A and B are shown apart, each in its own frame.
Chain A
Amino acid sequence: MTNASTASTASATATTLPERSRTAADRAGTGTPGTGERRTGRPPQRERQGAAWVFLSPWVLGASVLTLLPMAVSLYLSFTDYNLFDPPSWIGLRNYVQMFTEDPRMLRSVGNTLLYVVIAVPLQLALALGTAVALKSMKRGRNFYRSAFYAPSLLGASMSVALVWRAIFNDGGTVDNLLSGVGVHIGGWVNHPGWALLAVALLTVWQFGAPMVIFLAGLQQIPRDMYEAASVDGAGRWRKFISITLPMLSPVLFFNLVLQTIQSFQVFTPAFAVSSGRGGPADSTLFYTLYLYERGFTASHMGYASAMAWVLLVAIALVTAVLFRTSRSWVFYANEGDR
């Protein structure tokens, strides 16, 4: 999957990268304005800029050949009818129009994806936050548990774990046996239209380690005297969590929320593995990316798949923009008080 997916993966980097690339450019190009001029014998600025480009060239080459170029091609293909075999033929906006007017499965895939995001992201963040708070107050073994909970985040995106997941939630799998043991007979979750999506969502929730580590770091930044003052005022645990931890942690919470939302919109591997690549049973795990893949690689409509990728990019950008907008009313930055 080259063209189709680059657009969507690029969107994830688009929101996180600008900061980094700007500082990189500062450092490389105009980065050392003071020091350079004071010292003598250093080459003039223009020449140093040239050197910067030479050093940047591997990245620039990689980014343009492997990311920007495919993105441009994918944008072009999205306006064409292209079946991989014959040269693409220009059809204007027809792919985009068709997507919203005559493709019920595309709308179903949007519904599935939204449902998944709404289930998986809050559950995952709640679990991550809960575990982080519990770990913070631990006296011994914190490092061990931190690593143990983080491990799934390293493994979770792989195909093999998704396949294991499928086996666990299949007929006669662990979950089926455990539930049958207490008298609940659902059978394999992955074969039921009502349960399959939940099985996939749980795989994402299980990877709560990455946001947990970030929460843990955030928790350690909260000044201890705040809690002490609250204790003096007679605040209980819950009160402290609501009035101190949550507001002080809100920037970190926001960061995690944006990151996980973007990732969840692009979920692919678990759904692909759990449903044998078809989004089944009965289209219940047909996520947007899975449908995109199917249109492109099974049905050979690469133009349509490219158009879908660009719609996803715009949709994720919009959702992120909305999140940023709402953040003004609930994210609290500690230095705001100084201003």
Chain B
Amino acid sequence: MPAPRTRSSCAAAVALALCATLAGCGGGASASDDGKVTLRFTWWGNTDRATRTNKAVEAFEQANPDIDIQTSYSTYDSYKQKLATQAAGSDVPDLIQLDYRQISQYAGSNVMLDLAEQRKTLRTGEMDPRLLRTGQVGGAQYALPMGVGTQAVAYDKTAWRKAGVKPPQPGWSWQDWVKALRKVKQDRGSYAMTDPGAAEDQFEIWLRGQGKQLYGKDGQVAFSAADLARWWTFTSKLRKEGLVSPATDTTQMSGSVEDTPMGRKKSIAEFNWDAPSAGYEAMYGDRLAIAPTPSGEDGTPGQYYKPSMLLGISANSEHPREAAQFIDFFLNSDKAADILGVDRGTPVNGKQRSRVLSEVTGFQKQVAELQESMRGKLKDPPAAPPRGDNGLQSTFQRDYDQVSFEKLSPREAAEDFLTEARAELRP
């Protein structure tokens, strides 16, 4: 290799190389040359939600030509991880969708903007104050609920009817549920429902049906190992009887409808949230129906209205006013409500809610009807889960894996779960 002729030439080469590197690191500036404001908006969900959301975003951009919104989405599990990493690097997108389980963490760590600063742009007058409270932490409003959802049983109504079982009614008990499963199993010859033991959400419904809670006011676990052991013993009995899915099928669930036994057409019923159950439509079409979840034996309902998702603004956003403008459009305008329907649950804005509920069709109509049928019958939602609860859903699923593969007894696994939960929730 010939030696470089002059020092300046090699210095220039290095400078060039450095420039290239630095250029790669640049970017991220949010106001582009033409004076347009660029906002980043990120959420989790499936492609159907993405289609609707992007359509609403386009409508907003048309109405506000000086604002450009870059969107991105992923599945819930990877969304959580990515957002947490972005929060650590102070690179949170301007507009973020949060779960009820995340709000304490994000608001408590100054990642979110106090929306009171944007009160003029962002109207909340039409929203139910009880629901608004779900986006508050320490008295300040950090996010707004985007919709109201509730738990449900999604099922194939043709298969259900063929077995000669009545459709599930509001107020049916867990014992009614087991009886129905037996009949469907007899008719089908294989298991009827996905094993609910792995999902903390279902355990919560069962627990609330007995008048208990997941978390107490102090932010600590409010149930005992005996409670959890009883739930897992109950589901294990069903599993051994062949009424619900075996361990090898249950273990494949990973947060998307396509991976669940019902999504893979192995079972014909599954617990899920109401709006996300739309994902089964691709496999079941018109046969898909949803029903309320079972109640406690004395009729105490376990399910509740939950803010299905919250929408907030990053504390680091350079354009909080434009971001607030977008939220206002997304939650309050006729146009957005028409496009979004009940994809993220029924609208929180009272005016839009009554408009949308009377207009929706197809599966969305079932969601609307389910929620209307339970109006005034459900108990108040629990307070937002405490910080540290974030990873416990996966712990729950993992510990139940140990039960369903019969590596641990329900009691042992329940003790394991509580030990980890207490460590995570340590103040």
- B residues 299-350 with Cβ under 8 Å of A? none
Q: For the complex, what is the distance from the CA of A297 to the CA of B85, rounded to whole Å?
A: 8
Q: Are B405 and A281 in contact (CB under 8 A)?
A: yes
**Segment with Cβ contacts to B, from A242-250, A272-280, A306-314:** A272-280
Q: Are B81 and A298 in contact (CB under 8 A)?
A: yes
- A residues 32-63 with Cβ under 8 Å of B? 47, 51, 54-55, 57-58, 61
Chain B residues contacting A192 (CB-CB under 8 Å) are 248
Chain A residues contacting B259 (CB-CB under 8 Å) are 276
Q: Are A85 and B87 in contact (CB under 8 A)?
A: yes
- A residues 254-306 with Cβ under 8 Å of B? 276-278, 280-283, 294, 297-300, 302
The reply on B422 being an interface residue by CB < 8 A is: no
Chain B residues contacting A58 (CB-CB under 8 Å) are 14, 17-18, 21
Q: Is the interface of B mostly helix, strand, loop or mixed?
A: helix
- B residues 3-43 with Cβ under 8 Å of A? 4, 7, 10-11, 14, 17-18, 21
Q: Give the shortest distance, in Å, between B223 (CB) and chain A (any CB).
A: 21
Q: Is the interface of A mostly helix, strand, loop or mixed?
A: loop
Chain A residues contacting B358 (CB-CB under 8 Å) are none
The reply on B105 being an interface residue by CB < 8 A is: yes
Q: Give the shortest distance, in Å, between A237 (CB) and chain B (any CB).
A: 45
Q: For the complex, what is the distance from the CA of A324 to the CA of B14, rounded to whole Å?
A: 40
Q: For the complex, what is the distance from the CA of A303 to the CA of B105, rounded to whole Å?
A: 18
Chain A residues contacting B10 (CB-CB under 8 Å) are 51, 54-55
B109 touches which one: A54, A86, A280 (CB < 8 A)?
Answer: A86
- With A278-B394, A298-B394 in contact, is A187–B407 under 8 Å at CB? no
Q: Are A193 and B405 in contact (CB under 8 A)?
A: yes
CB-CB nearest in chain B for A277? B77
Q: Are B251 and A191 in contact (CB under 8 A)?
A: yes
The reply on B247 being an interface residue by CB < 8 A is: yes
The reply on A84 being an interface residue by CB < 8 A is: yes
Q: Are A280 and B398 in contact (CB under 8 A)?
A: yes
Q: Are B252 and A191 in contact (CB under 8 A)?
A: yes
- Please tell me the size bucket of the interface on A: 20 to 34
Q: Are B251 and A282 in contact (CB under 8 A)?
A: yes
The reply on B116 being an interface residue by CB < 8 A is: no
The reply on A156 being an interface residue by CB < 8 A is: no
Q: For the complex, what is the distance from the CA of A297 to the CA of B78, rounded to whole Å?
A: 9
Q: For the complex, what is the distance from the CA of A299 to the CA of B391, rounded to whole Å?
A: 5
Q: Are B391 and A281 in contact (CB under 8 A)?
A: no
Q: Are A281 and B251 in contact (CB under 8 A)?
A: yes
Chain A residues contacting B390 (CB-CB under 8 Å) are 299-300
Q: Give the shortest distance, in Å, between B424 (CB) and chain A (any CB).
A: 7
B248 touches which one: A191, A278, A283 (CB < 8 A)?
Answer: A191
Q: For the complex, what is the distance from the CA of A193 to the CA of B250, rounded to whole Å?
A: 13
Q: For the complex, what is the distance from the CA of A146 to the CA of B394, rounded to whole Å?
A: 44
Q: For the complex, what is the distance from the CA of A105 to the CA of B109, rounded to whole Å?
A: 29
Please list 18 pairs of residues, one from A and one from B, whose beta carbons are closer than 8 Å in the complex, sorted by A's number: A51-B10, A57-B18, A58-B17, A58-B21, A187-B248, A191-B249, A191-B252, A276-B252, A278-B397, A278-B398, A281-B247, A282-B247, A282-B251, A283-B401, A297-B81, A298-B80, A299-B390, A299-B424
Chain A positions near chain B (C-beta within 8 angstroms): 47, 51, 54-55, 57-58, 61, 84-86, 171, 187-188, 191-193, 276-278, 280-283, 294, 297-300, 302
Task: Report the 4 A-B pairs with minimum CB-CB distance, sorted nearest first.
Answer: A85-B109, A299-B391, A276-B254, A191-B248
Q: A294-B394, A299-B391 are in contact. List 9 more A-B contacts (CB 8 A).
A: A58-B21, A61-B21, A84-B87, A85-B105, A85-B109, A188-B248, A281-B401, A297-B85, A300-B391
